[in-house]
């Protein structure tokens, strides 16, 4: 089983005729994702790698029964692209685009919630359920089908951790990149709750970074609501205060948002924290063995 996407997911690509859209469409299709339509205004009637292109998401969805959208359009057009997908009734919207303004995203997230869609991103590497489907830019080859759920704010760290998990024979149920911006559609808590409800996700890896309070809120939620083993990794231990590091959301302000503050929150919630991407798999393996011992008592 998986969360968010599965082998039945039907994807419409917004921005399919652009350089990024066409390139990653080919990669998703090669992985086995059901790409059923593309959207670029003014290009209706064309085909990209055999996939029909439409002017609007509404028509693409009517013609193809798409239930998921992935967005590769430039940042100045991405807010409207998200709104269009939500208006068309798309259930899951995955926005890869980075550089969208915070003010625009506040309005977009509010509207998406009202329309009943779920947004992943922006500035997200996407979602992958190994062996089933991938929606976004995650490299499929490093993933392995299994029962570890991965949720992360960092795309690059996700790839490094997943590579180590797969090499340690710890396959993944679903990997979700929630995005590194300060305003995003789905939080750690949103995805953690889905993993907790998924009967085939047996353990969870959470990859955080400096900035904001998402990790602290996740730690509190895990302490109260999550029954499965969780291993956390927090990037940015050496980052200077009041300086943005990489992602738009990775800025430390005042006494909160530091790696130490986040690590302390996890430790106080009795959550194991890895010191580096390389030892996540080792710690998780030990957690699973302890869980097995407890169940055998």
Q: Minimal CA–CA distance to 69: which of 49, 47, 42, 87?
A: 87
Write down the pLDDT at residue 240: 61
Q: Mean pLDDT across the chain, nearest whole number?
A: 93
Q: Which of 24, 75, 143, 247 is catalytic?
A: 247
What is the pLDDT averaged over residues 202-206? 97
Q: Where are the domains of the chain?
A: 10-120, 139-295
Annotation marks residue 247 as catalytic: yes
What's the CATH fold of domain 10-120?
Rossmann fold (3.40.50)
Q: Is the pLDDT of residue 297 over 70?
A: no
Task: Classify domain 139-295 at the CATH class level.
Answer: alpha beta
d(CA 241, CA 76): 30
What is the pLDDT averaged over residues 167-193? 97
Stated pTM of the model:
0.93
Same fold, 10-120 and 139-295: yes
How many beta carbons lie within 10 A of that of residue 119, not counting itself? 29
């Amino acid at each position: 089983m998986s969360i968010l996407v599965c082998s039945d997911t039907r994807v419409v690509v917004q921005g399919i005729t652009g350089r990024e859209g066409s390139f990653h469409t080919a990669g998703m299709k090669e992985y086995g994702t059901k790409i059923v339509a593309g959207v670029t205004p003014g290009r209706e009637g064309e085909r990209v790698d055999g996939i029909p292109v439409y002017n609007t998401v509404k028509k693409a969805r009517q013609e193809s029964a798409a239930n998921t959208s992935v967005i590769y359009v430039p940042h100045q057009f991405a807010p409207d692209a998200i709104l269009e997908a939500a208006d068309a009734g798309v259930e899951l919207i995955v926005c890869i685009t980075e550089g969208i303004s915070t003010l625009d995203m506040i309005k977009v997230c509010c509207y998406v919630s009202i329309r009943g869609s779920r947004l992943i991103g922006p500035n997200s590497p996407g979602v992958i359920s190994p062996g089933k489907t991938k929606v976004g830019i995650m490299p499929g080859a490093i993933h392995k089908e299994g029962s570890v759920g991965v949720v992360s704010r960092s795309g690059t760290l996700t790839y490094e951790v997943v590579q180590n998990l797969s090499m340690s024979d710890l396959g993944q149920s679903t990997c979700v990149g929630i995005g590194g911006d300060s305003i995003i559609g789905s939080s750690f808590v949103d995805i953690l709750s889905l993993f907790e409800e998924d009967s085939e996700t047996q353990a969870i890896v959470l990859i955080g970074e400096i900035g904001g309070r998402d990790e602290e809120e996740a730690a509190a939620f895990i302490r109260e609501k999550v029954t499965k083993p969780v291993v956390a990794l927090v990037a940015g231990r050496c980052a200077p205060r009041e300086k943005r590091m990489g992602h738009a959301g990775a800025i430390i302000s005042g006494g909160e948002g530091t790696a130490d503050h986040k690590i302390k929150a996890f430790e106080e919630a009795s959550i194991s924290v890895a010191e580096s991407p390389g030892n996540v798999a080792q710690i998780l393996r030990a957690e699973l063995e302890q869980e097995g011992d407890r169940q055998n008592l």
